[in-house]
């Protein structure tokens, strides 16, 4: 089971996609390498959990994990068993297991995140939201730092219970693109786990991660998934590969989003861009603002003045810290 959660992380973590060589087209009609799946391949990965081999793997894992827990009931094996129960749709036993895990192994962010997911699937959105917020407090980097979007999803679901029209003109992700056929990236962004606005890259990562996980369990039609897919499609049109926008708009419609005149105009414009790009494949390299994180500017250390040398016995300044190793995802 741990291998499958790691696979899930690889599916959505763009830092792990260096070996994927797809070609994308930006909103100016210039081609580039997004370093991740684009277009129909992206949609295929979004919906991979419905495939027969995935369901068979769950059955095989159930037997293996039950034996592992009997042999060694540690945090990892118990967590893997609970995740397997969630994926099988057995959310009530999963909730009981994770509550027991939280008592036996307190303070683990994985347990809080898993409880939030299981409780949401069981229909307890208010309690699920509390556990997701607990998980963020325990580790803001859990789930690649995207749980701020899970919290917004739960807030939207709670609001929908009081106002069935809550999503009319409302973005769950908290972004606005305007009504241009070729929209620009948003001017304002929602706050992430640290309370600061996320970057275009972080927004793209959050939509990718949360949709990959959500669509394992939620089949069409679903207003929440449709809302998220519409925003993700438009984000890709504004700052990513337009091939992904072309594939995501129809997927959003399958989940219940309406085919508006604006969406039809955007799809027509995408087809024009792609046709033009095929006629000039060797043009300028395109840009993808949502594909890579924005690196903070490198500030050189202040030059040491000869008039103010270090005092006697004063140690030299410490070297810069080494880069952080890639963080393995573990549910």
pLDDT at 1 over 80: no
Residue 240: strand, helix, or coil: coil
Please compute the mean of the pLDDT values over residues 121-127 and round it to a whole number.
97
Give the closest residue to 233 by CA, choosing from 216, 220, 247. 247
Please compute the mean of the pLDDT values over residues 108-133 and round it to a whole number.
97
pLDDT at 26 over 60: yes
Instruction: Please report which confidence band the pLDDT of residue 36 belongs to, taking 50, 70 and 90 as the band edges.
Output: confident
Please compute the mean of the pLDDT values over residues 103-128 and round it to a whole number.
96
Query: Cα–Cα distance between 39 and 41 in angstroms, integer?
Result: 5
List all residues 6 or more positions away from 53 whose beta carbon is below 8 Å from its beta carbon.
none
For residue 191, what are the β-bridge partners? Answer: 197
Tokens encoding 137: 């407090």
Q: How do residues 170-213 score in pLDDT, each as one tens digit? A: 999 999 999 999 999 999 999 999 999 999 999 999 999 999 99
List all residues 6 or more positions away from 129 whose beta carbon is below 8 Å from its beta carbon.
116, 151, 154, 155, 158
pLDDT at 62 over 90: no
Q: How do residues 269-306 score in pLDDT, each as one tens digit? A: 999 999 988 887 666 688 899 998 765 444 444 433 33
pTM reported for the whole predicted model: 0.81
Question: Cβ-count burial of 42 within 10 angstroms (0-12 exposed, 13-18 middle, 19+ buried)?
Answer: buried
Dihedrals φ, ψ of 24, to 5°?
Answer: -120, 170
Q: How do residues 317-330 score in pLDDT, each as one tens digit? A: 333 333 333 333 33
Please compute the mean of the pLDDT values over residues 148-160 and round it to a whole number.
98
Query: Cα–Cα distance between 292 and 15 in angstroms, integer?
Result: 9
More confident residue, 303 or 156: 156
Residues in the chain: 331
Query: Cα–Cα distance between 209 and 212 in angstroms, integer?
Result: 5
Query: Cα–Cα distance between 125 and 45 in angstroms, integer?
Result: 27
Tokens encoding 270: 């995408």
Question: Cβ-count burial of 316 within 10 angstroms (0-12 exposed, 13-18 middle, 19+ buried)?
Answer: exposed
290 close to 200: Cβ distance less than 8 angstroms: yes
């Amino acid at each position: 089971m741990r291998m499958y959660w790691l696979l899930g992380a690889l599916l959505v973590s763009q830092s792990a996609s260096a070996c994927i060589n797809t070609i994308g087209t930006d909103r100016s009609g210039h081609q580039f390498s997004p370093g991740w799946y684009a277009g129909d391949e992206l949609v295929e990965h979004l919906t991979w959990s419905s495939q027969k081999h995935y369901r068979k793997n769950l059955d095989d894992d159930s037997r293996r994990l039950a034996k592992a827990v009997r042999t060694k009931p540690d945090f990892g094996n118990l967590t893997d068993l609970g995740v397997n129960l969630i994926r099988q749709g057995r959310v009530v036993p999963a909730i009981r297991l994770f509550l027991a895990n939280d008592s036996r192994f307190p303070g683990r962010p994985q347990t809080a995140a898993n409880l939030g997911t299981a409780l949401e699937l069981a229909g307890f959105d208010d309690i699920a939201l509390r556990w997701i917020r607990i998980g963020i407090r325990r580790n803001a980097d859990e789930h690649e730092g995207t749980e701020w979007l899970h919290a917004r999803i739960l807030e939207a679901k709670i609001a929908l219970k009081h106002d069935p029209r809550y999503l009319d003109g409302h973005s769950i992700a908290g972004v606005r693109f305007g009504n241009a056929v070729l929209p620009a990236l948003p001017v304002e962004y929602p706050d992430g786990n640290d309370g600061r606005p996320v970057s275009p890259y972080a927004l793209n990562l959050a939509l990718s991660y949360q949709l990959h996980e959500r669509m394992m369990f939620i089949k069409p039609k679903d207003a929440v998934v449709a809302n998220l897919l519409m925003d993700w499609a438009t984000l890709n049109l504004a700052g990513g590969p337009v091939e992904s926008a072309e594939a995501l708009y129809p997927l959003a419609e399958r989940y219940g989003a309406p085919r508006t005149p604006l969406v039809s105009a955007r799809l027509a414009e995408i087809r024009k861009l792609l046709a033009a790009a095929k006629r000039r494949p060797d043009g300028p390299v395109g840009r993808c603002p949502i594909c890579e994180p924005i690196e903070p500017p490198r500030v050189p250390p202040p030059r040491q003045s000869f008039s103010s040398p270090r005092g006697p016995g004063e140690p030299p300044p410490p070297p810069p810290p080494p880069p952080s190793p890639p963080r393995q995802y573990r549910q």
